[in-house]
Structure 1
Amino acid sequence: MATDSSAPADLVRLYTDGACSGNPGPGGWAYILNHPASGQTRDASGAEPATTNNRMELTGAIEGLASLKRPCKVELITDSQYVAKGIVEWMPKWKAQGWQRKENGRFKPVMNVDLWQRLDELLAQHKVKVSHVLGHNGHPENEACDRMAVAAYKALVADRR
């Protein structure tokens, strides 16, 4: 990616995605981390043999944030409404309610609470702005993350044969 000398030195863009073959089934996650001021980019991906798409979407965000070595301004770009709305809208309520959500007037445990709590810890270390993009809609980094996540779980499945 190109260098942007006008970009703040502490700004990073984190693109994330998750993918699953079956839900549950084997799944993969990926992220691309871009530092506009220097033009540097790094990425990573991984897979799990039995998971869900939502868990992989969360894992992509978690792994990307966990890779940061110091507090940053982070623009987290995801195609997952679950991750985007979870961070911006749902998580503050869940935390206030002891990581419970209301369903039919009753409190129920939050799904994937282990990952939401880990994400919450990482979000607290940075100043994060969440942006949602449409998946499979030509966004270059989102498409690249999708390819990486799919390749990660396909490699895992192939290795297990």
Structure 2
Amino acid sequence: MFQQDNVGQKIKEYFKAQGISQRQAATMLGVTQQVVGSLLNGKSFGKRMAAKWHEVFGFNPAWLVTGAGDMFETEDSQKESTAKKNVADGADAVASEVLRLITTGELYPASVVKAKDELIAEKDKEIQRLNRELGALRNELGLRDKSTLQSAHAGAGAEVLAELKQ
């Protein structure tokens, strides 16, 4: 709350130096005098209200919301904002162009794509063959386990019969 009080106090000082009353500020912002008064007396600025105050008076919206930084956007912060926008716009343009080149076959010729597709198909066939071989080996192992168990049971039965005959 202290930062918001500080923001409000600094705005009051600015308005006084500029000869702007709360009523005039409210008219310029298209809000009531009570809204302006509550913001100047410590109520937190929301993003929309900060954007409006930025638009009308030029205050730094981040400063209005947080109380940190400069009251007005400096030339450096404006340059940084412009630079970020330019980088984002440039990245979007590059991504769009790469997608266009891929789609039209200019970046990866159709022959390269076809060769890669054929290689993938070959590897897929090899995987299917290996899976079949693995299944056959598992089946054979299962049959061997069953025959081992049956012969062990049969041998045990023969021993029991031999003992009974004695």
Query: What TM-score do the two structures reach when normalised by structure 1?
Result: 0.22
Q: Select the structure of larger CA radius of gyration.
A: 2
Kindly indicate whether structure 1 or structure 2 has the higher relative contact order, using CA contacts under 8 Å at least 6 residues apart: 1
Q: Which has the higher helix share?
A: 2
Q: Which has the higher strand share?
A: 1
